[in-house]
Amino acid sequence: MSIYDFKVKAQDGSEVSLSDYKGKVLLIVNTATGCGFTPQYEELQNLYALHQKDGLEILDFPCNQFAEQAPGSDEEIHSFCTGRYGITFPQFSKINVLGVDADPLFKYLSENTTFQGFGKSPLTLVLNGVAKKMDKDFKHNSNIKWNFTKFLISRDGQIIARFEPTSSMKDVKAKVEAIL
């Protein structure tokens, strides 16, 4: 199985095959519009503007499972993201990334990567506390822990890296540029 075996829903409800992205470097992100990490949209857009011509695609999947930080319809979320952050990368229909209703793509991504930890920022204590309330065993499983978890996919559909929301966008950019 590879990333290209999955189909996802576009904002308009139509089905999109990830095989349409063969040969591209993908950064797949679960996002939210009302999260402390929402300003990462600006950095993601900057990365996209810089490297789309080189074959980078950022695939944005809004998710409301973490403290209900992605309220609203797909249209409302898209209007917010384009209006506030000027995003031009593809944004898909809102999904779940955890539990029995988790989107198969995100089940695959989380099952085939490892939780990287939240690092050593002041935010680490807060996120560890929140994650522990949601999942007492959070440090020992690969479930997605919060909004803005990112998965880097090579041109041949292989998972290269997982970045937690606290990962430096400089590190994300460096890894993207290394495989472009």
Contact in structure between 24 and 57 (CB atoms under 8 Å):
yes
**63 catalytic residue (yes or no):** no
Please list the residues that pair with 59 across neighbouring strands: 28
How far is the C-alpha of 52 from the C-alpha of 106, rounded, in Å? Answer: 23
Spatial CA neighbour of 151 closest among 102, 116, 123? 116
How far is it, in rounded angstroms, from Cα 158 to Cα 150? 14
**Which of 27, 28, 35, 131 is labelled catalytic?**
35
Active-site amino acid positions: 35
